[in-house]
């Protein structure tokens, strides 16, 4: 396939995806189409819908490799799901299923912010259901929920920020290797693995981490209003904990299963009879401001 053919194939898929989105919005968000965006019914019946959104794996907006090229990352995908759901008048709530050890602070915050804005403008409820692990950035995102359920075996917590660093100066010395960079300022190679940090560098980096940590604390304060700040800070030292301990500390609301979280969300939303749905192939609906890879659609 030539470069021009690939480009035509790509643009054809993009236009096709936008057509699907327009059709889905005009039909209340329901669309069934082979190979393209569609809404999947998981259970229930009736016109009102609860949308399940997955936060699964490391939280990042890195493109996802596929046989058809790079697909949009998690941040872009969730933003796209929320944009589709916003135009569906029958969406009554979000069931947020989280199974993640965390990820980048920025992407965690973007997803959290997107969920908060959706909840505010759409005036719906969100319930989070934790899986095997919902720690660090995963817990950060859970703060957008009105209530949080954890599986009995969930590991959660890890409220904190880390800036990884490895230092190889000792190993380099053994092999007679030295580093001699030319920099424009004394902090330019602040994270160099080839030497030990200076006290001034350590202080500067610690201040940066502390500022990012306060963002996390702020999200927890807003998400867990029944907890006093001193209670939050007492356990916001990076520790992980079981679901039982998380409930005892006030970091979650209940211990239960995904079905329990769905039932509770239906009650909170005020629509006990509804359909639980998810979206498939949201990349076929086009791009949004967080899309950093343009997918090549196949199967035409």
What are the backbone dihedrals phi and psi of residue 216, each rounded to the nearest 5 degrees, phi first? -65, -45
Catalytic residue among 108, 136, 158, 266: 136
- Concerning whether 221 is annotated as a catalytic residue, the answer is no
Closest CA to 119 of 75, 90, 149, 85: 85
- Concerning whether 188 is annotated as a catalytic residue, the answer is yes
Catalytic residue among 26, 173, 188, 196: 188
Quote the longest CA-to-CA distance of the chain: 72
The pairs formed by 30-33 with CB atoms below 8 angstroms and a separation of 24 or more are none
297 in Cβ contact with 67 (< 8 Å): no
51 in Cβ contact with 90 (< 8 Å): no
29 in Cβ contact with 276 (< 8 Å): no
84 token code pair: 């589709």
Q: Could you list the active site residues?
A: 136, 188
């Amino acid at each position: 396939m030539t470069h021009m053919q690939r480009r035509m194939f790509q643009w054809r898929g993009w236009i096709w995806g936008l057509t699907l989105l327009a059709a889905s919005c005009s039909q209340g968000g329901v669309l069934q189409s082979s190979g393209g965006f569609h809404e999947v019914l998981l259970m229930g019946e009736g016109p009102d819908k609860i949308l399940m959104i997955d936060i699964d794996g490391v939280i990042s907006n890195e493109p996802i490799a596929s046989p058809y090229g790079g697909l949009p990352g998690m941040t872009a995908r969730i933003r796209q799901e929320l944009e589709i759901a916003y135009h569906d008048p029958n969406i009554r709530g979000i069931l947020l299923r989280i199974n993640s050890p965390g990820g980048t602070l920025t992407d965690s915050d973007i997803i959290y912010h997107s969920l908060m804005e959706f909840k505010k403008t759409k005036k719906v409820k969100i319930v989070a259901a934790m899986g095997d692990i919902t720690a660090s950035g995963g817990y950060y995102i859970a703060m957008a929920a009105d209530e949080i359920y954890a599986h009995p075996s969930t590991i959660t917590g890890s409220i904190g920020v880390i800036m990884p660093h490895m230092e190889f100066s000792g190993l380099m010395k053994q092999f007679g290797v030295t580093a001699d960079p030319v920099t424009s300022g004394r902090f330019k190679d602040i994270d160099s693995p080839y030497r030990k940090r200076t006290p001034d560098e350590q202080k500067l980096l610690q201040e940066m981490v502390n500022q990012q940590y306060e963002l996390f604390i702020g999200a927890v304060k807003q998400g867990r209003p029944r907890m006093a700040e001193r209670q939050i800070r007492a356990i916001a030292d990076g520790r992980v904990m079981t679901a039982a301990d998380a409930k005892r500390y006030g970091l979650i609301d209940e211990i239960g299963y995904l079905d329990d979280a769905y039932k509770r969300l239906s009650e909170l939303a005020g629509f006990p009879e509804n359909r639980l749905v998810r979206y498939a192939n949201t990349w076929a609906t086009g791009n949004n401001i967080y899309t950093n890879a343009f997918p090549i659609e196949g199967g035409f």
